[in-house]
Amino acid sequence: MKTYKEMTKEELMSLKAELEKMYEDVKGKGLKLNMARGLPSSQQLDMEADFFNTFDSTSEFKSETGLDCRNYGELLGIAEARKLMGDMMGIPADNVIVFGNSSLNIMYDTVCRSMVHGVCGSTPWCKLDKVKFLCPAPGYDRHFAITEQFGIEMINIPMTEDGPDMDLVEKHVNNDAAVKGIWCVPKYSNPQGVVYSKETCERLANLKPAAEDFRIFWDNAYAIHHLYEDNQKELPEIISLCEKAGNPDMVYEFCSTSKVTFPGSGVAALGSSKKNLDYVKSIITIQTIGHDKLNQLRHVRYFKNFDGMKNHMKKHAEILRPKFELVLSRLEEEIGSLGIGSWTKPVGGYFVSFQALNGCAKNIVAKCKEAGVTLTGAGATYPYHKDPDDSNIRIAPTFPPIEELAAALDVFVLCVKLASVEKLLEA
Amino acid sequence: MKTYKEMTKEELMSLKAELEKMYEDVKGKGLKLNMARGLPSSQQLDMEADFFNTFDSTSEFKSETGLDCRNYGELLGIAEARKLMGDMMGIPADNVIVFGNSSLNIMYDTVCRSMVHGVCGSTPWCKLDKVKFLCPAPGYDRHFAITEQFGIEMINIPMTEDGPDMDLVEKHVNNDAAVKGIWCVPKYSNPQGVVYSKETCERLANLKPAAEDFRIFWDNAYAIHHLYEDNQKELPEIISLCEKAGNPDMVYEFCSTSKVTFPGSGVAALGSSKKNLDYVKSIITIQTIGHDKLNQLRHVRYFKNFDGMKNHMKKHAEILRPKFELVLSRLEEEIGSLGIGSWTKPVGGYFVSFQALNGCAKNIVAKCKEAGVTLTGAGATYPYHKDPDDSNIRIAPTFPPIEELAAALDVFVLCVKLASVEKLLEA
């Protein structure tokens, strides 16, 4: 079989006509399908019914330390929740503050705090002429939206199969004191599913930042979100790596149970050094009296311990695995031999990252939308929504039921083919 | 009976010796009592057991509009929760955003947002040379802590029985463009229990602020926290008053169920004009994907409607009323005729405000502490912790069981007497 690039103009014209006819047929179906966001499916959420039986009218609402979780207090979170979230990150409870329902909110507030108050006594970033963040891309659109809202200049860092291009990271961080942060999703990265390699983590830990208030924003959103039991990639624990490298305060780590229990009704946490946490505490003690301790207690009593949480995630994997496998097999069958796209093959996380021919991503997403299939906006995975190659598309297969996912993928591959033919005919 | 001021030096010396002996006896008891913070008692929290039966394994988790509350979405809160919280404030659901568990957190973020991003397009406050807030005092220490943390200059405004001294408020707000806000607890104010009068509210609504980004921070924390069914003071609804006066965007109103259901596990809300809420939404859409909708749904299903919430608060009143009545009767019996203090007689809220002889408050609080009774720190009710007269003490009678409260009040009145004698002997 010929790849599209090997075809003659006439062959492409004929193919185009054929694809257009199919596309018109698809549009006529009035589909309404969504592969845009990394939402758990309702099947994943259904499994949580027991979660609501953790308390009843005879419950003790006391934490391990005897605190009544129904009343005010315990700004850093109850001890057993700090332990559980610490286990998720592979760090001691003392290095954890448990917050509310959203790790994104913790990240936002962490950037905001640095803007207004500085970092452990440094000049507030809003008083500086220029603040820059490194943005491994493609990456998570909501990260980039935070730094954009605060007027922080974002620098694209290409992603490799081992994580961000470390030569570039070192060049920027070690030489430019305006570089104050880097966004990282180190495990099953959004959108590629990349797990940062040991070497990448070690090079990160051994950075020699020009700015003393440089921090790694380590969004460990998919720490335990494996698809396969026997094919999990280990991520080195970054906080101890940094400590060993003489950079004990260089990381903020974020995690949550948003995709373990419930998006919006889970528990989120910050992991960091004692010095960083003491500083954060000194600021947030004015912001709030405390977070939702009943929800913290509910989570701990439900899972009992980290093993309980890991077992629970095996059930999620059983639901998600067939969806990811369907994406990969459909892509392979339909366009594997056509030379019009490549994609990642993640073993965890929530996404597959698709690389179209340069200049085709926007067109593919628009065509899908017209045919009733919503994808993450083209460009969303890059700072300022600007994909320099107009090539990356994030596929989020978790939410739709598998039949709908199959239908959406049919539309997707058709639009990839059609947009690719159009692009090749332009040349 | 003589007042202390009418006593001779000899009489005071003799009284002092007697009181000192009693004080030594009390210290020997090793008490450990707390009247420091406005915490609900565990008896109030016990009443909520049913609250946890709102969901079970067969529950529908759909909001009125069909949204699955277990998943992401609905940044502004589910419709029925916006309605319930709107009813609490006496405003339509459209004027409400439901947030997370803490109205203090909303207030903090509202100030923070104004510092970093401005107010509906105005210059961010952090770019201005000077930002000032009016602080009716005595007032809520955590309000003052927020403005202090952001380096906002706080101006004391004396409180009257009808609310803040409005002549002073008008003078500052209408003439000084650096004045960007005023902290108000308009109903059963913290700590006096004052309800702002109709005239006060109308004068507030009719302010002609020199700054277009001036806002009233209307912390309606005790909106439905009455002690008596037949002795409730009505508070005018401020948002519509401001609208009528041609100042539709001048108020942010805050409320929560922290002292209705659970401190830390309740629901908090912001009420304001459409223009203000649209602006807030445009910022917070980057900060979070949404708040805890299951907790919102839990609250709505438990109370059913605002009447359910009001009925619930009658049970709280039955628990709290005897405590407040004990405070007032003990103060009257023990020092009512001695001329060494005055106090407010609130019909709602969480506090009684005590005015000692000038220069005595710190000494009284220190003496109580030494005898095992913790009070709110003297000065805490003023900006920068500076009570110009060293006179105000906030009494928080809600948390201790009534026997402990009685014991704590015995210590309190003894310390008031002793500190007053010491002060009079100084003269």
Are the C-beta atoms of B4 and B421 separated by less than 8 Å? yes
CA distance A340 to chain B (A): 34
Return the axis-axis angle of helices B103-117 and A274-287, rounded to nearest 10°: 100
Q: Which two tokens stand for residue B51?
A: 């609250």
CA count, 13 A, side-chain hemisphere, B306: 14
Tell me how long chain A is.
Answer: 427
DSSP-derived letter for residue A209 is -
**Nearest residue on chain A to B67, judged by CA atoms?**
A42
Residues B101, A291: C-beta atoms closer than 8 Å: yes
Three-state SS for A85? helix
- How confident is the prediction for chain A on average, in pLDDT? 96
**Nearest residue on chain B to A74, judged by CA atoms?**
B264
Three-state SS for B343? strand
Residues B56, A70: C-beta atoms closer than 8 Å: no
- How confident is the prediction for chain B on average, in pLDDT? 96
How confident is the model over A297-326, as pLDDT tens digits? Answer: 999 999 999 999 999 999 999 999 999 999
Are the C-beta atoms of A291 and B265 separated by less than 8 Å? no
The separation between CA B391 and the C-alpha centre of its own chain, rounded to angstroms, equals 19
Q: Does A50 touch chain B (CB under 8 A)?
A: yes
Q: Residue A191: what are its φ and ψ, rounded to 5°?
A: -105, 0
How confident is the model over A330-371, as pLDDT tens digits? Answer: 999 999 999 999 999 999 999 999 999 999 999 999 999 999
Q: What is the pLDDT along chain B (427 residues), one digit of tens a residue?
A: 799 999 999 999 999 999 999 999 999 999 999 999 999 999 999 887 778 878 876 778 999 999 999 999 999 999 999 999 999 999 999 999 999 999 999 999 999 999 999 999 999 999 999 999 999 999 999 999 999 999 999 999 999 999 999 999 999 999 999 999 999 999 999 999 999 999 999 999 999 999 999 999 999 999 999 999 998 889 999 999 999 999 999 999 999 999 999 999 999 999 999 999 999 999 999 999 999 999 999 999 999 999 999 999 999 999 999 999 999 999 999 999 999 999 999 999 999 999 999 999 999 999 999 999 999 999 999 999 999 999 999 999 999 999 999 999 999 999 999 999 999 999 7
**Could you tell me the sign of the dihedral formed by the alpha carbons of A116, A118, A122, A125, in that order?**
negative
Pick A287's closest partner by Cβ from B53, B70, B108.
B108
Q: Does B100 touch chain A (CB under 8 A)?
A: yes
How confident is the model over B346-365, as pLDDT tens digits? Answer: 999 999 999 999 999 999 99
How confident is the model over A97-151, as pLDDT tens digits? Answer: 999 999 999 999 999 999 999 999 999 999 999 999 999 999 999 999 999 999 9
**Residues of chain B numbered 146-185 and touching chain A (CB < 8 Å):** 146, 149-150
CA count, 13 A, side-chain hemisphere, A17: 5
**Residues of chain A numbered 53-92 and touching chain B (CB < 8 Å):** 53, 55-59, 61, 68-73
How confident is the model over B363-410, as pLDDT tens digits? Answer: 999 999 999 999 999 999 999 999 999 999 999 999 999 999 999 999
ipTM of the modeled complex: 0.96
**Could you tell me the sign of the dihedral formed by the alpha carbons of B136, B138, B140, B146, in that order?**
positive
Residues B71, A145: C-beta atoms closer than 8 Å: no
Average pLDDT of the residues in A240-248: 98
Residue A57 has what pLDDT? Answer: 67
Residue A427 has what pLDDT? Answer: 78
Domains of chain A and CATH, by start: 4-44+310-426 (3.90.1150.10), 63-303 (3.40.640.10)
- Return the C-alpha torsion angle A287, A289, A293, A294, nearest 10: -110
Residues A290, B265: C-beta atoms closer than 8 Å: no
Q: Does B302 touch chain A (CB under 8 A)?
A: no
Residues A292, B290: C-beta atoms closer than 8 Å: no
How confident is the model over A196-243, as pLDDT tens digits? Answer: 999 999 999 999 999 999 999 999 999 999 999 998 889 999 999 999
How confident is the model over B106-155, as pLDDT tens digits? Answer: 999 999 999 999 999 999 999 999 999 999 999 999 999 999 999 999 99
Amino acid identity, position A347? V
CA distance A234 to chain B (A): 29
Q: How many CB pairs lie under 8 A apart between chains A and B?
A: 161
Q: Does A291 touch chain B (CB under 8 A)?
A: yes
Residues A112, B108: C-beta atoms closer than 8 Å: no
Residues B293, A265: C-beta atoms closer than 8 Å: yes
Q: What's the pTM value of the predicted model, to 2 decimals? A: 0.97
Pick A70's closest partner by Cβ from B69, B72, B265.
B265
Are the C-beta atoms of A209 and A203 separated by less than 8 Å? no
Alpha carbon distances (Å) from B151 to A142, B123, B130, B146: 30, 17, 9, 9
